[in-house]
Amino acid sequence: MPKPPGVEPGAAVQPRVYRRRVWRWAGALAAALVLFYALIGYVSTSPLIGENPRWRGMNRGPADFGLQGETVSLQSTDGIALKAWWLPAHGTPRGTVVIAHGVDHTRQVMLPRAAFLVHGGYNVLALDLRGHGESAAQYVSPGYLEARDVLGGIRYVRSRGVGGPIALLGVSYGAAASLLAAAQSSDVRAIVADGPYPNAKAVFENINRHFVHNPKTPLWMRVAFVVASAPGIPAACMLVYYLRTGVYLGTDWVSVVSASRYIHVPVLFISGSSDWIVPTAQVRQVQAALACDRKPLLIIPGAQHDTTFSTAPALYSQSVLDFLHSNLGN
């Protein structure tokens, strides 16, 4: 059969070959992107999953701070085995304060705060949040699951037959957990939230931004944080965390702002003026969302994240005690 005039041999085949090549390259690019985001998500979520030795060690106890106390066992509301110290108040108790540490720490770092609370007339339950200290867990979260630990602490206080008002005091993700717990509990009468973030995604972005722009950051680390700042990384981390744990944290990785709208008890917010992990402006976002009108903000000059108490212990302790005395009805 004669070929149509003007058509060269193989001319009809060339577009099909070109389209195949385009699809191959598009498929390879898509696979590379999926692999990239999966790898970054896996690496970024790994510190939250599995055993983490640096969260376990403790070398101090209540006696080092002149406190009488006992180690107690309790459970979170989802059945995680927790350890804590029960530290009775000096004199007639004004109430009980459940205290929650920040990530990377254990209940021992809260002992200086526990000391001024005990001397101020409050029982203290110092928790090891899940995965930290002597408490069990296979994975942790940015406060979402830890709120169940705090709720378990509240339940434990009542199981001891202890009456009177209950307050919460948390630092960093312990503050987030305390606020999330208070939004679900009618037993909480007041909260001290030291360095609470509006959501964990903001913390992720703050840390990335700091190390990318800090001239002291080593080149290899800066490159790693630049990569971690790529569009879509937070969403990828959330998805990978869900696939690894079955826990969905939401697009913001836990919104403390949303929970705060359901809190109707007084909250004392504390922030360090030099905090770049959770800047004061972001603490104010949580403060603004709170349903209660009694929500003072204490700014510690020169303090960074999780150094508010050590920077100004007298100011910190007196401000917390004044707030508790005023709002617990004693």
For the chain (330 residues), the mean pLDDT of every run of 10, in chain order, is: 55 68 79 83 86 84 94 96 97 96 93 97 97 93 96 97 95 97 96 96 91 87 83 89 92 91 96 97 96 95 96 98 90
Instruction: List the CATH number of the domain containing 77.
Output: 3.40.50.1820
Let me know if residue 169 belongs to a domain: yes
Does one domain contain both 33 and 73? no
Q: How many CB atoms lie within 10 A of CB 192?
A: 26
Let me know if residue 78 belongs to a domain: yes
Q: Residue 30: which domain range?
A: 17-48
| Residue 70 to residue 262: CA distance in whole angstroms | 34
Q: Which residues have a Cβ under 8 Å from the Cβ of 301 and sit 6 or more positions away?
A: 273, 311, 312
Q: In Å, how far from its chain's centre is CA 39?
A: 23
Does one domain contain both 185 and 291? yes
Q: Which residues have a Cβ under 8 Å from the Cβ of 280 and sit 6 or more positions away?
A: 271, 272, 273, 297, 299
Q: How many CB atoms lie within 10 A of CB 297?
A: 15
Let me know if residue 217 belongs to a domain: no
How is the chain split among helix, strand and coil, in percent rounded to 5? 45, 15, 40
Number of domains present in the structure of the chain: 2
Does one domain contain both 72 and 192? yes
Does one domain contain both 81 and 110? yes
- Owner of token pair 């009456």: 163
Does one domain contain both 43 and 69? no
Let me know if residue 137 belongs to a domain: yes
Does one domain contain both 162 and 285? yes
Let me know if residue 9 belongs to a domain: no
Does one domain contain both 31 and 94? no
Does one domain contain both 277 and 181? yes
Does one domain contain both 42 and 125? no
Let me know if residue 96 belongs to a domain: yes
Q: In Å, how far from its chain's centre is CA 210?
A: 18
Does one domain contain both 75 and 146? yes
Residue type, 49: I
Q: Which tokens sit at 49? A: 């999953």
Q: Which residues have a Cβ under 8 Å from the Cβ of 97 and sit 6 or more positions away?
A: 117, 122, 123, 124, 125, 166, 167, 168, 169, 324
Does one domain contain both 182 and 104? yes
CB-based contact 89:123 (threshold 8 Å): yes
Does one domain contain both 138 and 167? yes
CB-based contact 43:225 (threshold 8 Å): no
Provide the whole-model pTM.
0.89
CB-based contact 126:114 (threshold 8 Å): yes
Residue 2 has a pLDDT of: 55
